[in-house]
Chain A
Amino acid sequence: MIKFENVCKSYKSSRNKALNDLSVEILKGEFVFLVGPSGSGKTTFLRLMLREERTDSGRIWVGGRELGAMSSWKVPYYRRNIGCVFQDFRLLPNKTVRQNVAFALEVIGRSRHVIDTKVSQALEIVGLGNKGNRLPNELSGGEQQRVAIARAFVNRPLILLADEPTGNLDPATSQGIMRILDKINRTETTIIMATHDVGIVNTMRRRVIQLDRGSLVRDQQRGIYGLEESDTIEERLTGAVKAVTLNSDEDELLKGRKRRRQTAELSHKSLIAGFDEDLEETE
């Protein structure tokens, strides 16, 4: 689904590489935490995936397309497959909740009818079905972030990128956001989330990719935010090797997902079934 191959990236105004020879592969439907200290290259990783930036060297494939070879007029169409959520929500203050979500479909030329049904669905998913006519400044931070998620998801992207989506929220609200992201992930949507939130990473136990000064230092399935003191360099390396073997073992991954899906809350079931049909229809 997503593959970084020896990717290097540096910005004009700084000498150090934001990403340094990074190779990593992410499968369809995975939920990945991107962790690492400030300046380690997490946002750069996401911007490269969006093709807001281009690599200096190395290649990035997303859904079988190599981003370096993609002509710039195709980029907007490519981005329609990717949803984005940010720490600062980025809602339009003069539009209502509904209008904010609808905007994402209007500007790619969807018909009124499609927009109306999809927006309602998306607002239901994030639990804001009854607040469609509010303005963003009439909502709490958590609610605003849920609108942003609805906007990112309303076109049913294959991939959802989230850059510190809980960075401005208290732990309880963050939990709510994570439940929604988890729900979205169960519709086979790949999620990559950059975060500094130790609690969330440690309770969710999903794949963790850790960067430091632009290099991959850890890639761990069911990982935690940081390694315990006792971890030696060898242990980190074996962790990475394990992660790679796990990665390639797709069967096991799928089995795991099926199990998870069966244990999903009943109340979500019908909704999720609805998603899957939609996904097939759009693809």
Chain B
Amino acid sequence: MSFSANRVLRDTFFNLWRNIQYALAAILTVIVSLSLVGAALLVKQGVANATVEWSHGVGVSLWMNADASNSEVNGISTQLKQSTLIQSCSYLDHNASYDLLKKLYSNQPVVVSAFTINTTPTIFNCVLSNPNNAIEVYNQYSHQPGVYTVVYPGQEIKTMEKITSILQIIMLGMALLMVIASLVLIFVTIRMAIFSRRREVAVMKLVGATNWFIRVPFMLEGMIEGLIGAVIASLLVFGLRNIMGNLVRNTEKLGSSAQPSLLSATVATSHEAIIIGIILIISGAVVGGIGSFVAVRRFLDV
């Protein structure tokens, strides 16, 4: 058994080496296509993160001071209920807003550790009767006693969604074309490999080597090309995530942004990036497997 596994691996890498120009071309296209897929997934995940709590209906959020008194909170609550600018509100108490904080900053534990349940501001999330009222609400409430700040990210999210969804479509479209290119290149590579070993293959068939014995090294070759490309692509996607994360952190330090959580939420967490990496690696193996399987079916039949 080990004798045969040895043979398969030796054959596979020997083929790869003999076919190195084609193999490199195939691996490069796999890298490009899967990096695009990965980047698109990263953006998609970022937007999903940003919108997960700040969903479409939410117009503004009133952040209370963490130490605001009950009467201050009740006063604001009553005003909000009576206001014609506002349709409805939900209130996040200390526990709920701390949970939200943990979720939004799950990739920055330093931020989370700076807060406790009692030092986390409570939040009113309000739906506006008209989206254009946001500024008016801001002016009316931001200087009331007990209010820390008023944030109105709704419209920005919408614009961001629009831009990123176009971006995503473009990226996925390009990725799809590149995936097709990788499939074709892997197919061609394996066809070349089969062609350059046609004499050996003919002898193998003649002396009764099984179909799988003949096919496996070629299929493995395609899968390994896909895998190498995919691993490099996932590393690139990881790097991209870190660059995005650093960028966001730097802008946050520079500007006195009113909505820090929104920006940083657009960066996928490293946990999510790992999942994206796994998806890419599986896709790489699948693309390699399909490309080589088709070639093997087409050029190696009994």
Contacts and interface: CB of A to CB of B under 8 A. Distances in A.
Genuine A/B complex = yes
Contact of A112 (B3, B199, B200, B207): B3
A80 B208 CA distance: 5
A109 interface: yes
A76 B210 contact: yes
Contacts, number: 51
Contacts of B199: 90, 92-93
A111 B208 contact: no
Interface in B173-225: 199-200, 202-211, 213-214
What is the predominant secondary structure among interface residues of chain A facing chain B?
Answer: helix
Contact of B203 (A50, A75, A77, A103): A103
Contacts of B207: 79-80, 103-104, 107-108, 151, 155
A268 B207 CA distance: 26
Contacts of A111: 3
Contact of B208 (A76, A92, A112): A76
B209 A107 contact: yes
Contacts of B249: none
Which of the four size classes fits the interface of chain A?
A: 20 to 34
Contact of B209 (A50, A76, A112, A151): A76
Nearest to A111: B3
Interface string A75-108: 1111110001000001011000000000110111
A104 B203 contact: yes
Contact of A73 (B202, B205, B211): B211
A107 B208 CA distance: 8
A79 B211 CA distance: 12
A16 interface: no
B203 A90 contact: yes
Nearest to A81: B208
B7 A77 contact: no
A104 B205 CA distance: 10
Interface of B: 3-4, 7, 199-200, 202-211, 213-214, 302
22 contacts: A72-B302, A73-B210, A73-B211, A76-B205, A77-B210, A79-B205, A79-B206, A79-B207, A84-B206, A90-B199, A90-B206, A92-B200, A92-B203, A103-B207, A104-B207, A107-B208, A107-B209, A107-B213, A107-B214, A109-B213, A111-B3, A151-B207
Given A73-B211, A107-B213, 12 more contacts: A73-B210, A79-B205, A79-B207, A80-B208, A90-B206, A92-B199, A103-B200, A104-B207, A106-B7, A107-B207, A107-B209, A108-B207
